[in-house]
Amino acid sequence: MPTRGAVLADLHVELVAADRSVWSGEATMVIARTTSGDIGIMPSHEPLLGVLESGPVTIRTTDESGPVVAAVQGGFISFSDNQLSILAEVAELADEIDVARAERALERSRSEADAAAQRRAEVRLAAAAAGSR
């Protein structure tokens, strides 16, 4: 177990949706949106338990593949002992998102004045855009 103030090279991340395990691996940093605002978590961060807002989650992996980006709809984030758990109601990796379908959903939600559906579509499109960088 690391001592307080010790710096470790990476943290272990588990991104889980209600229906599946979405991503698991090592990371140097994770950025997520909570009800208290955006938060960046790096190794040796103070323990944390927070409520997730709908938004993109960016996982900066330890390998050369680039960041992993996911669209997350609600849930919780927990960090302790360099173990980060993101437990989402719905989570979809950026490369799994059908952009055309998300754009249609956004247009439909606007015409129906469905704010919740509009936010879901906007989050999916933001994650897809961030994942393609």
Q: What pLDDT was estimated at residue 9?
A: 59
- Give the type of residue at 10: D
Query: Where does 26-114 have alpha helices with state H?
Result: 99-111
Q: What pLDDT was estimated at residue 65?
A: 85
> DSSP 3-state helix, strand, coil percentages of the chain (rounded to 5)?
25, 45, 30
Q: What pLDDT was estimated at residue 131?
A: 85
Question: How far apart are alpha carbons 133 and 119 in whole angstroms?
Answer: 22
Tens-binned pLDDT, residue by residue, of the chain (133 aa):
444 444 445 899 999 999 999 999 999 999 999 999 999 999 999 999 999 999 999 999 998 888 999 999 999 999 999 999 999 999 999 999 999 999 999 999 999 999 999 999 999 999 999 987 7
| The CATH classification of domain 11-94, taken from the options 2.60.15.10, 3.55.10.10, 2.40.50.100, 3.30.70.260 | 2.60.15.10
Q: In sequence order, which residues have a C-beta less than 8 Å from that of residue 76 and are 6 or more positions away?
A: 49, 50, 51, 52, 85, 86, 87
Q: What pLDDT was estimated at residue 10?
A: 87
- Which residue's structure tokens are 């909570």? 34
Q: What pLDDT was estimated at residue 3?
A: 45
